[in-house]
Amino acid sequence: MTLTADPRSRTTANPRRTRNLPADRPSSGGTTPAPAGRRPAGTPTLPAAAGLTATAWVEAVAELTRPDDVVWVDGTDAWRRTLIETMVTTGTLIPLDPELRPGSYLARSAPSDVARVESRTFICSEREDGAGPTNNWREPAVMRAELRGAFDGSMRGRTMYVVPFSMGPVGGALSKLGVQVTDSPYAALSMLTMTRVSPEVLRRVAAGEDFVPCVHSVGAPLVAADGTRTDDVPWPCNDLKYIVQFPQSREIWSYGSGYGGNALLGKKCFALRIASAMARDEGWLAEHMLLIRVTTPEGRPFHVAAAFPSACGKTNLAMLQPTLPGWKVETLGDDIVWMKPDADGRLRAINPEAGFFGVAPGTGASTNPVAVETLRKNVIFTNVALTDDGDVWWEGLTPEAPDHLVDWQGNDWTPADGAAGRPAAHPNSRFTVAAAQCPTIADDWETPDGVPVDAIVFGGRRATNVPLVAQAYSWAHGVFLGATVSSERTAAAEGKVGELRRDPFAMLPFAGYNMADHWAHWLSVGDVLAPETRPQVFQVNWFRRAADGSFLWPGFGENARVLAWMVRQVEQRRSGGHDPAHPSARPTAVGLVPGDGALDVDGLDLADDALDELFAVDPARWKAECDLTDEFFATFGERVPAVLRDQLRHLRDRLDDERLS
């Protein structure tokens, strides 16, 4: 077995000849890697990283999983090229036309491995109520023993890639380190784009800095225990899957899937599930949110963090091109935000990721021209369609489909197939691309101290009830809005598309601990924020429909009008500049909505009465929704913060108040 960080010398028999070898460096405490006797190999449970150096932990994992070789990946271009070449050779990556899509590749997954598997995602807290009713729980010791069985020899015949990475700018105030070991070159390569992987990160990990250990195996060994060899396939995976988080020991073990949300462990597993547990313990927030800067025509910048359930247009909003003259929107992040109160009681935010792993279908020149521009080169596409000239296509990229394509499963496809309900690209097909390539990325998107957050937005995909925009009456009301978010089910996870599901804080599949405790944590973070600069909280719904089923609001770039109203509300709160003759907002039972003329709809071709319908609050329907909220809260029992039960009562009282409907 060799141990090297240099792709050119991975077959060397002498690891000492290679560069960047963690074992060559002392840890910060001056200790050398753990002696073999401290390694838990041979024990009936999984190796844990606690108390081990990174090198010793990697060795222990290798002893369990038995790869042919172990290589340390330090993110250099040589590594990127090596991983790509490896996958082109095995057929995992199909090179795209170098003129049409320079530096870009297409991967086709196994048809069974196209989305996150929530049914096989586990939060193994010490006690079941630590995970809460919205998570799958298994007792840690039981899960450790089960995983040991699954990972035993799971990498036989394969290479184990060790990828030390940083979530957030390396060394930044809110940043954290991780080490992912994986037998998937696709996961290793994607990690180079989605996180920060560099010789400096390797050096820090080797020097003994804390890291979150992340183990990933596709669960498809090429050599069986009896030594029989099988041929590899372009997308190895296993029908049995485990996506396991141990919040207490901050460990991640993922088995059986190569799909991004299950396999790129820095993303959902670390930056949301494990980080949310860290954040609870350390007084900050790890959230499923995008992050943008909105600059007013007067040149004043405001930062907005917005939570939407999966596949509800977060990437579109993150890359929005305002239609309102003079307004500017810059991108800081499209999926995850870490936020922490600073010494002045101001909430500061970073995007812990370095790339976008976005949903391709629906991304086109009319919906998200910035994303289309971002995807011109250096992209790994997964499960989109291939054009005859070696480019990619997906539903929504152009209004018309090409006459012939090869679909996401490698079959010939014509528009007649589309008409028959067989999409060319999988509905959850993805692009993986560096954030730095985005034309609207803010110059300072990597600022290590983060940006101050001025507004927090909760959205969902709701055909009825929820107004286009409403401002919370208070932080507690804002937490209530977050706790009661609901949306229609999408293709990003398994399940029936269209069904309504509660998705509190858009964190349902991502909270690393009891969701009700997450609400309590949000309330307590609010308490340490300075009242003058505490973010205002809003709820939005771009998806409300008229009785005939048509959308009432055009969405996309026009959402800038809603952002502009929110920013003006924040400005007004800060300056106290409220003009009673022209109120910018009017109270309703569910929150403050734009006052007459306060939402700029100039030049918009809205249907008659669309504005009335967009902001209509129907007390009867809302009371029915309150009953559902009661039922939903009941699933968390006594853990629901009393403040949120009060908020539900206040909402009911307001619904009874005729002046507010």
Residue 116 site contact among Mn ion, ligand OXD, none (CB < 5 to 8 Å, cut-off depends on kind) = ligand OXD
Residue 59 site contact among ligand OXD, Mn ion, none (CB < 5 to 8 Å, cut-off depends on kind) = none
Active-site choice (124, 237, 269, 312):
312
Q: Which stretch binds Mn ion (CB under 5 A): 113-121, 145-153, 329-337, 352-360?
A: 329-337
Q: By C-beta, is 335 or 613 nearer to Mn ion?
A: 335
Q: Do 348 and 452 touch, CB atoms closer than 8 A?
A: yes
Give the nearest distance from C-beta 506 to Mn ion in angstroms. 8
**H helices, E strands: number in the chain:** 17, 31
- Regarding 120 and contact with ligand OXD (CB under 6 A), the answer is no
Q: By C-beta, is 335 or 517 nearer to Mn ion?
A: 335
Give the nearest distance from C-beta 183 to ligand OXD in angstroms. 22
- Regarding 335 and contact with Mn ion (CB under 5 A), the answer is yes
Cα gap 529→523, rounded to integer Å: 10
Q: Do 106 and 93 touch, CB atoms closer than 8 A?
A: yes
- Regarding 287 and contact with ligand OXD (CB under 6 A), the answer is no
- Regarding 266 and contact with ligand OXD (CB under 6 A), the answer is no
Residue 492 site contact among Mn ion, ligand OXD, none (CB < 5 to 8 Å, cut-off depends on kind) = ligand OXD
- Regarding 330 and contact with Mn ion (CB under 5 A), the answer is no
Give the nearest distance from C-beta 95 to ligand OXD in angstroms. 25
Interface residue with ligand OXD among 33, 247, 256, 261 (CB under 6 A) is: 261
Q: Label the pairing between strands 536-540 and 455-459.
A: parallel
Stretch 15-54 residues interacting with Mn ion (CB under 5 A): none
- Exposure b/e, 22-38, CB count within 10 A at least 16 = b: bbbbebeeeeebbeeee
Cα gap 463→30, rounded to integer Å: 60
- Regarding 600 and contact with Mn ion (CB under 5 A), the answer is no
Give the nearest distance from C-beta 338 to ligand OXD in angstroms. 15
Q: Do 471 and 585 touch, CB atoms closer than 8 A?
A: yes
Q: By C-beta, is 92 or 262 nearer to ligand OXD?
A: 262
Q: By C-beta, is 155 or 194 nearer to ligand OXD?
A: 194
Instruction: Specify the long-range contacts of residues 125-128, CB closer than 8 Å, at least 24 apart.
Output: 125/247, 125/248, 125/513, 126/248
Give the nearest distance from C-beta 471 to ligand OXD in angstroms. 26
Cα gap 661→653, rounded to integer Å: 12
What distances in angstroms separate CA 222 from CA 61, 187, 237, 449, 475, one per listed residue? Answer: 18, 18, 11, 45, 54
Q: By C-beta, is 335 or 395 nearer to ligand OXD?
A: 335
Cα gap 499→6, rounded to integer Å: 49
Q: Which residue is nearest to Mn ion (CB)?
A: 335
Query: 85 CB contacts (<8 Å, ≥6 apart)?
Result: none
Q: Token pair for residue 582? A: 């022209």
Binding mask 348-387 for ligand OXD (x = CB under 6 A): ---------x------------------------------
Give the nearest distance from C-beta 261 to ligand OXD in angstroms. 5
Q: By C-beta, is 335 or 353 nearer to Mn ion?
A: 335
Cα gap 441→291, rounded to integer Å: 11
Q: Do 544 and 468 touch, CB atoms closer than 8 A?
A: yes
Residue 315 DSSP SS3? helix
Q: Do 259 and 109 touch, CB atoms closer than 8 A?
A: yes
- Regarding 310 and contact with ligand OXD (CB under 6 A), the answer is yes
Q: Do 428 and 491 touch, CB atoms closer than 8 A?
A: yes
State the amino acid at position 247 in one-letter form.
P
Q: By C-beta, is 115 or 162 nearer to ligand OXD?
A: 115
- Regarding 146 and contact with Mn ion (CB under 5 A), the answer is no
Q: By C-beta, is 76 or 262 nearer to Mn ion?
A: 262
Residue 462 site contact among ligand OXD, Mn ion, none (CB < 5 to 8 Å, cut-off depends on kind) = none
Binding mask 332-351 for ligand OXD (x = CB under 6 A): ---x----------------
- Regarding 558 and contact with Mn ion (CB under 5 A), the answer is no
Q: By C-beta, is 199 or 495 nearer to ligand OXD?
A: 495
Give the nearest distance from C-beta 509 to ligand OXD in angstroms. 7
Half-sphere exposure of 182 (CA within 13 A, CB side): 34
626 is catalytic: no
Length of the chain, in residues: 661
Half-sphere exposure of 339 (CA within 13 A, CB side): 32
- Regarding 353 and contact with Mn ion (CB under 5 A), the answer is no
Residue 76 site contact among ligand OXD, Mn ion, none (CB < 5 to 8 Å, cut-off depends on kind) = none
Stretch 466-495 residues interacting with ligand OXD (CB under 6 A): 492
- Regarding 395 and contact with ligand OXD (CB under 6 A), the answer is no
Query: 431 CB contacts (<8 Å, ≥6 apart)?
Result: 356, 357, 358, 360, 363, 371, 375, 379, 380, 381, 382, 384
Q: By C-beta, is 170 or 359 nearer to Mn ion?
A: 359
Cα gap 636→129, rounded to integer Å: 9
Report the phi/psi class of residue 197: left, alpha or beta, with left for phi > 0 and alpha for psi in -120 to 50.
beta
Give the nearest distance from C-beta 422 to Mn ion in angstroms. 26
The DSSP call for residue 282 is H
Q: Which residue is nearest to ligand OXD (CB)?
A: 310
Stretch 307-326 residues interacting with Mn ion (CB under 5 A): 310
Which candidate, 399, 117, 172, 403, places its Cα nearest to that of 284?
172
- Regarding 156 and contact with ligand OXD (CB under 6 A), the answer is no
Stretch 258-317 residues interacting with Mn ion (CB under 5 A): 310
Q: Token pair for residue 257? A: 């899937």
With CB under 6 A, what is the number of residues at the site for ligand OXD?
6
Which candidate, 286, 327, 323, places its Cα nearest to that of 307?
286
Stretch 97-116 residues interacting with ligand OXD (CB under 6 A): 116
With CB under 5 A, what is the number of residues at the site for Mn ion?
2
- Regarding 65 and contact with ligand OXD (CB under 6 A), the answer is no
Cα gap 73→5, rounded to integer Å: 5
Q: Contact positions toward Mn ion, by CB under 5 A?
A: 310, 335
Which residues sit at the interface with ligand OXD, rule CB under 6 A? 116, 261, 310, 335, 357, 492
Q: Name the residues annotated as catalytic.
A: 312
